[in-house]
Chain A
Amino acid sequence: MVASGAEQARVDLAEAWELSPSVALRPEPFGALAYHFGNRKLTFLKRPDLVALVRALASAPSVASALDIVGISARQRAAYLDALSGLAATDMIRKRAS
Chain B
Amino acid sequence: MTTTLGVEATGPTRPRGGDLVQQFEAGLDAPICLTWELTYACNLACAHCLSSSGRRDPRELTTEQCEAVIDELERMQVFYVNIGGGEPTVRPDFWHLVEYAVAHHVGVKFSTNGVRLTPERARWLASTDYVDVQISLDGATADVNDRVRGPGSYDTAITALRNLHEAGFKDPKLSVVCTRENIPQLDEFKSIADAYGATLRLTRLRPSGRGADVWDVLHPLPAQQRELYDWLVARGDNVLTGDSFFHLAPFGEKLPGLNLCGAGRVVCLIDPIGDVYACPFAIHEEFLAGNVLEAGFQHVWQTSRLFADLRSPQTGGACTSCQFFDACRGGCMAAKFFTGLPLDGPDPECVQGYGEAALAAPREVPAASQDHSRSSPGRNAPVLLTLQRRPPTTACDENPLAGTAASAHS
Contact = CB atoms under 8 A, between A and B. Distances in A.
Interface of A: 1-2, 4, 22, 24, 26-31, 33, 35, 37-38, 40-44, 46-48, 50, 79-80, 82-83, 86-87
20 contacts: A1-B257, A1-B408, A26-B30, A27-B29, A29-B10, A29-B23, A30-B10, A30-B14, A37-B107, A42-B79, A46-B5, A46-B7, A47-B5, A47-B6, A48-B10, A80-B5, A82-B3, A83-B1, A86-B2, A87-B1
Given A1-B256, A27-B29, A30-B23, A40 B5 contact: no
B409 A37 contact: no
Interface string B264-290: 000000000000000000000000000
Contact of A4 (B6, B29, B238): B238
Contacts of A22: 129
A28 B266 CA distance: 12
Interface of B: 1-8, 10-11, 14, 20, 23, 26, 28-30, 32, 77, 79-80, 105, 107, 129-130, 132, 237-238, 256-257, 408-409
B129 A44 contact: no
B7 A47 contact: yes
Contact of A1 (B4, B10, B79, B409): B409
Nearest to A80: B5
A88 B139 CA distance: 38
A18 to B, nearest CB: 18
Contacts of A86: 1-3
Given A29-B23, A46-B3, A79-B5, 17 more contacts: A2-B2, A26-B30, A26-B79, A28-B28, A28-B29, A29-B29, A37-B107, A37-B129, A40-B80, A41-B408, A43-B408, A44-B408, A47-B5, A50-B3, A50-B5, A86-B2, A87-B1
Nearest to B15: A30
A42 B10 contact: no
Interface of B, secondary structure class, is loop
Contacts of B1: 43-44, 46, 83, 86-87
A35 B31 CA distance: 13
A40 B107 contact: yes
Contacts of B237: 4
Contact of A79 (B3, B23, B408): B3
Given A29-B23, A37-B130, A79 B105 contact: no
The interface centre, meaning the residue of A35, A42, A80 with most chain B CB atoms within 10 A of its CB, is A42
Contacts of B5: 46-47, 50, 79-80, 83
A26 B8 contact: no
A40 B132 contact: yes
Contacts of B105: 24
A26 to B, nearest CB: 4
Contacts of B4: 79, 82
Nearest to A86: B1
B1 to A, nearest CB: 5
Contacts of A38: 129
A47 B8 contact: yes
Contacts of B80: 35, 40
